[in-house]
Amino acid sequence: MSDIPLGVLDLVPIPSGSTAADALRNSIDLAQHAERFGYARYWFAEHHLNPGVAGTSPAVVLALTASATSTIRLGSGAVQLGHRTALSTVEEFGLIDALHPGRFDLGLGRSGGRPPGRPTAAPATATPVVDGRAPNGLLIPPRFSFERLLDSPRIALQRKLLLLPGAESQDYAEQIDDILALLAGAYRSPEGVEAHVVPGEGADVEVWILGSSGGPSAEVAGARGLRFAANYHVSPATVLEAVDGYRAFFQPSDVLGKPYVGVSADVVVAEDDETARELATGYAAWVRSIRTAEGAIEFPTPQQARALEWSEQDTDLVRDRVDTQFVGSPGRVADGLEQLQEATGADELLITTITHDHTDRVRSYELLAREWNRR
């Protein structure tokens, strides 16, 4: 499967007993290893008010990582536009592109205090799902409702702290258009005033849209002929809807003549299945902390995870994420990723791996790359 590139999606997780500084050093070290292992790109996510995640500013971490690597593409997965402006986004990526030209992917997402916006009627999913399975057997679990998270006090506080008092987020589609115009040097205000971003205008960045459904994000990406990344690792229930919606909306552009899709997956690889399952023990507790709106906890050791109180309700809360995590030997995990690629028609896969021990995390990516390239 070496014709399907693998990339890395890094949340900059903080293992229990370590610090944010440790997590940042680990991520930069992992990026250097990923470059040697042959991964095509390395993306950083953006999250806020999470005690166990240090990736709060993709552009800053990208600048640090660019200085420590030389060839691997680097990007955001994704910049949260709900609390940013088009200008600030282009300026940030323009700055790092000025010193490391042609290496950056500007991945854009809607989350982070976004306004409700206008609803989008997503096209019907073209891929049938029967008894929770895609035609090739890929697990498509029941849909998880994220509404409970949007109503949580922590999310409300995040919005309050990220947005200036009285500020409202720009319409997402308009914001994407402004970013594209500023990058191209074609921006004009409604009054006809030009704006030129230096550095930023003409930056050699790949623009991606990230989304978890076939709604607004898929529509924006498709209608503007941009690359699209769908999140099997965040919302496995809607990955087929997302990629089908994007392809249905797609219009050729100067950037792309046909759709281009990346799909993310949670992965833990070890020499054998039993060892991999042990390394992944803390994943359920970590997902629970996110889905109860507590905020991602520091990633626990297997022993710490087993000591946590756990209920049947907790199991139900995280079941879709745990059941769709690819865990095992290199061969087992590669088989699962091939199935994911086949079901979604992905042009590439983005791998996110979290283990408590950094050396185990590096080894997981190494084993997967070796097996993937062998096929």
Task: Centre a 10 Å sphere on the Cβ of residue 258 and count the other Cβ atoms it contains.
Answer: 9
pTM above 0.75?
A: yes
Q: Which are the contacts of 79, defined by CB distance < 8 A and separation ≥ 6?
A: 46, 58, 59, 89, 106, 107, 108, 109
Q: Is 129 exposed, middle or buried (0-12, 13-18, 19+ CB in 10 A)?
A: middle
Amino acid symbol at 56 = T
CA-to-CA distance for 9 and 41, rounded, in angstroms?
Answer: 9
pLDDT tens-place string over residues 2-32: 799 999 999 999 999 999 999 999 999 999 9
Backbone angles phi, psi at 242, to 5 degrees: -65, -50
Nearest to 45 by CA among 132, 109, 103: 109
CA-to-CA distance for 54 and 14, rounded, in angstroms?
Answer: 7
Contact (Cβ atoms closer than 8 angstroms) between residue 361 and residue 262: no
Average pLDDT over residues 263-280: 98
Contact (Cβ atoms closer than 8 angstroms) between residue 108 and residue 174: no
Please determine, for residue 113, whether its predicted confidence score (pLDDT) is greater than 70: no
pLDDT tens-place string over residues 69-104: 999 999 999 999 999 999 999 999 999 999 999 999
Helix (H), strand (E) counts: the chain: 14, 10
Give the CA count within 13 Å in the CB-facing half-sphere of 268.
24
Q: Is 238 exposed, middle or buried (0-12, 13-18, 19+ CB in 10 A)?
A: buried
Going along 169-293, which residue ranges are E strands? 205-211, 227-231, 261-269
Question: What residue segments make up the domains of the chain, in order of their start?
Answer: 6-374
Strands 227-231 and 73-76: unpaired
Nearest to 80 by CA among 18, 14, 169: 169
Contact (Cβ atoms closer than 8 angstroms) between residue 211 and residue 78: no
| Amino acid 117: pLDDT | 40
Task: Centre a 10 Å sphere on the Cβ of residue 368 and count the other Cβ atoms it contains.
Answer: 24
pLDDT tens-place string over residues 30-63: 999 999 999 999 999 999 999 999 999 999 999 9
Contact (Cβ atoms closer than 8 angstroms) between residue 50 and residue 296: yes
| Interhelix angle 358-374/330-344, nearest 10 degrees | 70
Q: How many residues does the chain have?
A: 375
Please determine, for residue 136, whether its predicted confidence score (pLDDT) is greater than 90: yes
| Residue matched to tokens 């999606």 | 9
Pick the CATH number of 6-374 from 3.20.20.30, 3.30.1370.60, 3.40.140.10, 3.40.50.12780: 3.20.20.30
Contact (Cβ atoms closer than 8 angstroms) between residue 85 and residue 113: no
pLDDT tens-place string over residues 290-305: 999 999 999 999 999 9
Q: Round to the nearest angstrom and report the end-to-end CA distance of the chain.
A: 5
Is the peptide bond preceding residue 199 cis, with omega within 30 degrees of 0?
yes
| Amino acid 121: pLDDT | 54
